[in-house]
Amino acid sequence: MTSKTLLVIATGNAGKIRDFAGILGTERFEYKTLKDIGFDSDIEENAETFAGNAKIKAKVVAEFLHKKNVEAWVLADDSGLEVFALNGAPGVYSARYSGEHGNDESNNELLLKNLEGIEDRSARYYCALALLHSSTPNNEPEIFEGECRGNIGREPVGNLGFGYDPLFIPNGFSTTFAQMEISEKKNLSHRGSAIRKLPF
């Protein structure tokens, strides 16, 4: 029996593991979160791009595993919403757009306020995945990108999603991400698109 390859997802969110396992499968990989590997430090994500933040996370976690002599692939992602009429905002500040990290309602309210009077409401959810092996933590991580394009609605609709999902209507649909079941959303999502580009 062949042993599974360890794949550390640089997140404390176990839900993200389901995203990766759902596409990459569970036959070849053993998935672990930062909590699973005993990593509890805060990583300062101070880059100006999603790819930059993903690289920071991948390198820090790969170095942590390298020092412990743990052989694993590290996958770090950074993602968010970019509204074209707002010059790409909220962008890397998506989770803390209104000032308080993770306050979805406040972030959505601010986005709608900033779009008042603007007809062009086109936007995209964007994801950058950084891949690095713990045996070479000083290497430059490889980046894989995914996006889902759509438009920002006039008011929040739906309660199945999180973040800006109640406002985001993907192209070709009349419903928001927050009105979609996970199975439907998975085929459209920016993270899913990036995951499917991985060389595994």
The list of the chain residues with pLDDT below 50 reads 1
Fold type of domain 5-195 = Maf protein (3.90.950)
Q: What is the mean pLDDT of the chain?
A: 93
- Relative to beta strand 142-152, strand 29-32 is unpaired
The vertex-147 CA angle with 139 and 183, nearest 5°, equals 110
Per domain, the residue ranges of the chain are 5-195
Helix (H, G, I), strand (E, B) or coil at 199: coil
Give the pLDDT confidence of 157-181 residue by residue, as tens digits.
999 888 999 999 999 999 999 999 8
E strand or H helix that includes residue 50: helix 50-67
Beta bridge partners of 81: 125
Residue 83 CA: distances (Å) to CA of 4, 74, 151, 163: 40, 30, 8, 14
The model's pTM is 0.89
Residues designated catalytic: 78
